[in-house]
A and B are shown apart, each in its own frame.
Chain A
Amino acid sequence: MSTINITIDNKSVQVEKGTTILKAAQKVGIHIPTLCYMHLEDLNIEHKPAGCRICVVEVAGRRNLAPACATECTEGMVINTHSLRVLNARKTVMELILSDHPTDCLVCAKSGNCDLQAMAHQLGIRKIHYQGEQSTYREDTSPAIIRDMDKCIMCRRCETMCNDFQTVGVLSAVNRGFMAVVAPAFEQNLDHSPCTYCGQCVAVCPTGALTEVDHTNQLIRTLADPTKTVIVQTAPAVRAALGEEFGLPAGTLVTGKLVAALRQLGFDYVFDTDWAADLTIMEEGTELLDRLTRYLNGDKSVTLPILTSCCPAWVKFFEHQFPDLIDVPSTARSPQQMFGSIAKTYFAQMLGIDRKNLVVVSIMPCLAKKYECTRPEFSVDGNPDVDFSISTRELANLIKQSNIDFLSLPDEDFDDPLGESSGAGVIFGTTGGVIEAAVRTAYEIYSNKPLPRIDFHELRGLDGIRHATIDFNGLPLNIGIAHGLGNARKLLEEVRAGKSQYHAIEIMACPGGCIGGGGQPLHHGDSSIIKARQKAIYLEDSNKPIRKSHENPYIQKVYHEFLGKPMSEKAHHLLHTIYFDRSKKQFVVSHE
């Protein structure tokens, strides 16, 4: 690769050919402000539409200002990133953006966490000199995501996530000029589109245009209701990220403080979704072995590979996009739903209360979980197994609202019987974790021998698609892993074409798995945060005394006392599910 020499703000820089002005400036510690630009380096996502023009710089000899994010350096280029002309242009651009943006920051869900607000502050905007008509659009509320397009600045990051990374293809810019808006086809609402509610659009939205449906107030009311027993389950990825909302560095584990905070908030029992993750492994692992054994014995009715089914966004994705393959994924419900199902039967019986008086709340790194608990098949006589789900971000806000000094909380332990988990349950929070947990258990059941090792480093990492072959006591088991639905699509297309080489595939919709979920603290484009969370998850696993799901005594207990054995009739009824073909067009037309 040839190098070129340029000058930025009087500093000489040598960069590789093809480097943008933005990246070259970063090399010498000059951080040109950006707004629409997004680079998630570890995930190979670079979004540089040069649409907002905040990053403009002056290039000597060039007539107009150049967008730094999308302009490549050329030999001898002389760049000024903060000349009078640049600063004036940047402010004007910002004021023009703000002239078509509501100024209700005080009551906006994104306030304090908004890239637009931060940029207005950074540029020292004190007055908006341009007044005129503002574009307005109807608000769209779905089970998980709210679209308030009045706050959209057309950065189109959401489109990149939805189309390029997830290949879901729900969001597109429609209409033109002043009327332009990012919307689903035919401007239907999200709940009439193939949206998976993965929430990656929300995770990257720089403003309050895309936000989660907030259940905080519902939770506050529920906790204050003396007739209800309120229990909580918390997903593995939450403990690896919640601390960020309280100023701790990314990757700080706050499991003990999380439990203490939930107890202070007034939950009657603080449980762990990781326990249900162990339960998922018992069911999914058994199903894998059952399918595998039948397949190896020549049973032609068996389909392989088996696909994991923990991720509700992924489930909705294949229901819309691969309806011909709905018999391929495992029928095991997700840990959230297994937890709800067991809580409202086994645990409600244990307490001697009616399921209607037991409220199950989940804390999830995810927005699709909000949708998942509304799926009708996960309720009994109209009473949902999981009543509602709140995100990591919502929990952080609630802790702050409740005057809890999170950082000085003592470390506390989860309650029994649905709070004890193995390290295998913990790693469900990261890409590669579910399949590693499954391998730890399935290996021992299949071979009747103890695992020679517990850590399967070949299954770990952040590459979008990974594969490994694990020696299953003489049987080479081919495993595929994908995170991000675009990567999942590639593996699914192989399955559809009958060319898949895998026995089992793990899929998670979000970058990095649940640690990069749509309900997590915002990473603001810094993908090293996701890496740090992943490290924390594996650390939590290695610190656990029990690291295999089938060795969890409370899992053994629930089978002994209640379920019988994995894939028993009762387990089928409570812990497995069916999928639906959602590919049928369901658009509603004819609106103004």
Chain B
Amino acid sequence: MSTVKIELKPHQVEQIKQICKEFNNDPGELINVLHKVQHTFGYLPAEVQEVVASELNIPVAKVYGVVTFYSFFTMLPKGQYPISVCMGTACYVRGAEKVVEEFKNILKIKIGETTPDGKFSLSCLRCVGACGLAPVVMIGDKTYGRVAPESIKEILQEFQ
């Protein structure tokens, strides 16, 4: 997993410590802690994982192991508008792959990456529960149904 190097500010370290404390610094709560920390920071860079590990008194290798195991966790900052393309069975058979390809072409990024201007990031997920609308794309909190590759340019323009 590729990562970015950052330097945490003291108040950010405090924030992480506070979240760990909410879960009683219990190593068994690692996933919940990571959830909340990612919600706060948007992603989980190495430096953040170091703080979590030391607060929960577990090796940072274990934290990294969990972060890399679950696709929900990311070590890269998401864009201002995170794009998620559903690759569940229904969406897949109705051409989600072509939709992903089109996003990749237009934004010139790969899955898991963010555009250099920080605006869009691209990821895939499994079934958002709207199979009737397949193929489904989510951008931020907004959901788009029956997305055709040809319509993607137009959709993206809404966010310009």
Contacts and interface: CB of A to CB of B under 8 A. Distances in A.
Contacts of A592: 2
Given A185-B59, A590-B3, A174 B46 contact: no
Contacts of B1: 175, 187
Contact of B61 (A184, A590, A591): A184
B5 A185 contact: no
Contact of B68 (A176, A193, A591): A176
B4 interface: yes
B49 A176 contact: no
A252 to B, nearest CB: 39
A171 B68 CA distance: 14
A170 interface: yes
B61 A169 contact: yes
B108 interface: no
Nearest to A587: B46
Nearest to A588: B5
A5 interface: no
Interface string B47-90: 00110000000111111110011000000000000000000000
Contacts of B59: 163, 168-170, 172, 185
Interface in A535-592: 585, 587, 589-592
A587 B68 CA distance: 17
Contacts of A168: 59
Nearest to A193: B61
B63 A185 contact: yes
A590 B45 CA distance: 11
A241 to B, nearest CB: 31
A168 B46 CA distance: 19
A250 B141 CA distance: 67
A176 B69 contact: yes
Contacts of B3: 186, 589-590
Contacts of B5: 589-590
B69 A174 contact: yes
A541 B49 CA distance: 50
Most chain B Cβ neighbours within 10 Å, of A174, A175, A186? A186
A193 B1 CA distance: 17
A496 to B, nearest CB: 13
Interface string B1-19: 1111100000000000000
B66 to A, nearest CB: 9
A173 interface: yes
A589 B4 contact: yes
A512 B122 CA distance: 53
B65 A173 contact: yes
Contact of B46 (A169, A171, A186, A193): A186
Given A174-B68, A175-B69, A585-B50, A185 B61 contact: yes
Contacts of B69: 173-176
B111 to A, nearest CB: 14
Contacts of B64: 172, 174, 185-187
Interface in A155-190: 163, 168-176, 183-187
B20 to A, nearest CB: 17
A289 B50 CA distance: 41
Contacts of B58: 169
Most chain A Cβ neighbours within 10 Å, of B46, B49, B65, B69? B65
Nearest to A180: B69
B113 to A, nearest CB: 12
Interface of B: 1-5, 46, 49-50, 58-65, 68-69
Closest 10 CB pairs of A and B: A169-B59, A172-B61, A172-B65, A185-B61, A185-B60, A185-B64, A174-B68, A589-B3, A175-B68, A174-B65
Given A184-B61, A589-B46, 13 more contacts: A169-B58, A170-B61, A174-B64, A174-B65, A175-B1, A176-B68, A185-B60, A187-B64, A587-B46, A589-B4, A589-B5, A590-B5, A592-B2
23 contacts: A163-B62, A169-B59, A169-B61, A170-B61, A172-B64, A172-B65, A173-B65, A173-B69, A174-B64, A176-B69, A185-B59, A185-B61, A185-B64, A186-B3, A186-B49, A186-B64, A187-B1, A193-B61, A587-B46, A589-B3, A590-B3, A590-B4, A592-B2
